[in-house]
Structure 1
Amino acid sequence: MEQLLLHLRSLGFTEMESKIMVELAAIGQSSGYEVAKRLGVSRSNVYAALQRLTQQGYVRCGDGEPARYSALDPDELAKMISGRVQASLAFVENEMPRGGSVSTTFYNVEGERNVMDALIRQLNAAEHEIIVDVWREEASLLRSELEQAERRGVRLLWAFDGGNAASTYLPWPPLEERESEGRKFSFVVDRRWCMLGMRGGEGDGTVQAVVTEHRVLVELLLGHFTQEMVLFELEQDMGPELERRYGHRYGSIYRKYIGSDGEDEEDLMEIQTPGNTRDDS
């Protein structure tokens, strides 16, 4: 019941109108007095809401004294609402001014539903290319949208395979201890829009992301993918030679710039920072 009322309110009906429509649909033809009594609210509020619903065509009012009201069949109600919403959307799309310039900025998006909605809109609008860097869990949530994009001819490029493999590089050691921050993800759509975020943490299901068309972040993520792409090809072609010269996961280069004196590769291998490996544990 609560879900039904919530969806009716999201379609523009007030809480009172939503309750009246559900009540009439469940009980059948009733007078305003009977509806008010069953809902436990004032008759004046019920009659005012019934008048609005009747004028808009969502409720029928029969002749007689007292007047008796009835709800439309669900199919008829859905068609009426859908038709009016589509007409309004078409008008807004055609008439909304487009002349104002908007400066490129960064937007914070919080909550799984809000993040997914923002991402799915862009995936569905993609025309040329989508670069994806996600874990398997997140990829499964977007499987349908990504498959639809491929069917439209959009090219999908994966920065990682989403499996259990460790990062190509040794992780940066944290300067102070911190709890796990969850799984990182990023998307670049048509080389102009991007999202960078984190899903979950230590016992926390929070989802947060930054969304922007700013060239700084778009080019940063594109550069990261280019780096992964080049290294992948080099490792496929020269893997043993690279490991012989630079150590496992480029440990000798890592120690030169990041590792402390006295650290050996085994110590570095044990350093883990959140989001830098693709382990499922």
Structure 2
Amino acid sequence: MDQLLHHLRHLGFTEMESKIMVELARQGSGSGYEVAKRLGVSRSNVYATLQRLEQRGFLRCSPGEPAKYSMLKPEEMTRMISDQMHSSLAYVERSMPKSEPEKPVFYNIEGDKNVFENLGRELAAAKHEIVVDVWREEAELLREDMQRAEARGVRLLWSCEGGEGALDQPMPLPGLPISGTGRKFSLVVDRRWCMLGMRGNSCPTQAVVTEHPVMTGLLLSHFAQDLVLYELEQDMGRELENRYGRRYADIAARYWSSFSPEEQ
């Protein structure tokens, strides 16, 4: 009984409507006076509810004095409710105002506490993959968050500049010099959210955060290129170094020097 009333209310009927419908279905038919007496409620409330249910088509009313009310068969009632709900859902789908989706935004975060709190929330919410490109100092600060994510089954891809020992099996990759005295870091979570920032020495901790697909795509592409170069270096070793110089410095110098801030 209670479960039936619960589901009727879930379908949009009031508590009084639900009780009257169940009572009429049990008894077959009844007048307003009889229903009110069996339910122990006021006749005025019952009469008003019976009239409302009849107008909506869920009750039949027989002529005579007093009028007798009866419920539809259960399959008729549920079919009527289903048709009404489908009609309403179709109307809502057609008529609901449609707005353009919000464009991804960029926002800045400053200060160690703010940057790492923001980052910690995203790492804790990661479901599929985390891509990390950091220096040894930042890797140590993120160690526990990344280990917890990996324990949840999140795929972890990372590279670490500045020496070994930050995490198990670190992967130092070829890098280019950057302006300023800080250490750059970047992270991409689930290929939708990313943070790119700088920290350390005399450089205040600052980061840019966005879900813009262009930025996440650029960071993932840069990371993949570094991995390719790393694997080539591991595979070709001395031959690659002899031809292009350690860490490909000869090649990098051709392009990076033309963008050096000191020469601008």
What is the TM-score when the length of structure 1 is the normalising length?
A: 0.50
What's the offset of the Cα at 1:207?
1.3
1:142 is paired with a residue whose SS is helix
RMSD, aligned CA: 2.9
Alpha-carbon distance in 1 for matches of 2:229, 2:144: 30
Please name the residue that 1:249 is paired with.
247
Describe how 1:192-211 pairs up with structure 2 within 5 A.
192-202=192-202, 206-211=204-209
Provide structure 2 residue ranges, at least 5 long, that are not aligned to the other structure: 1-98, 165-170
**Contact 2:160–2:172 (CA under 8 A) maintained in structure 1:** no
Please name the residue that 1:231 is paired with.
229
Partner AA of 1:214 in structure 2: H
Alpha-carbon distance in 1 for matches of 2:252, 2:139: 30
Task: Using CA pairs under 8 Å that are at least 6 residues apart, name the structure with larger relative contact order, 1 or 2.
Answer: 1
Over the matched positions of the two proteins, sequence identity in percent amounts to: 58
Provide structure 1 residue ranges, at least 5 long, that are not aligned to the other structure: 1-98, 175-179, 261-270, 274-281
- Post-superposition Cα deviations, 1:242-281, rounded to whole Å, max 9, x if no partner, equal 1122222223323444558xxxxxxxxxx9x9xxxxxxxx
Please name the residue that 2:50 is paired with.
none
Please name the residue that 1:106 is paired with.
106
Alpha-carbon distance in 2 for matches of 1:166, 1:128: 24
What's the offset of the Cα at 1:123?
0.2
**Contact 1:170–1:250 (CA under 8 A) maintained in structure 2:** no
Please name the residue that 2:35 is paired with.
none
**Contact 1:169–1:250 (CA under 8 A) maintained in structure 2:** no
Describe how 1:1-281 pairs up with structure 2 within 5 A.
101-160=101-160, 163=163, 168-169=174-175, 171=177, 180-202=180-202, 206-259=204-257
Alpha-carbon distance in 1 for matches of 2:253, 2:137: 33
- Post-superposition Cα deviations, 1:136-187, rounded to whole Å, max 9, x if no partner, equal 2222222221111011000111122652698624537x6xxxxx43111110
Partner AA of 1:208 in structure 2: Q
Alpha-carbon distance in 2 for matches of 1:201, 1:132: 21
Alpha-carbon distance in 2 for matches of 1:109, 1:133: 18
**Contact 2:173–2:227 (CA under 8 A) maintained in structure 1:** no
Alpha-carbon distance in 2 for matches of 1:136, 1:257: 27
Alpha-carbon distance in 2 for matches of 1:169, 1:161: 8
The alignment covers a number of residue pairs equal to 157
1:103 is paired with a residue whose SS is coil
If you compute each CA radius of gyration, which structure gives the higher value, 1 or 2? 2
Alpha-carbon distance in 2 for matches of 1:258, 1:195: 24
What is the TM-score when the length of structure 2 is the normalising length?
A: 0.53
Partner AA of 2:145 in structure 1: E
Partner AA of 1:158 in structure 2: W
Alpha-carbon distance in 2 for matches of 1:258, 1:200: 23
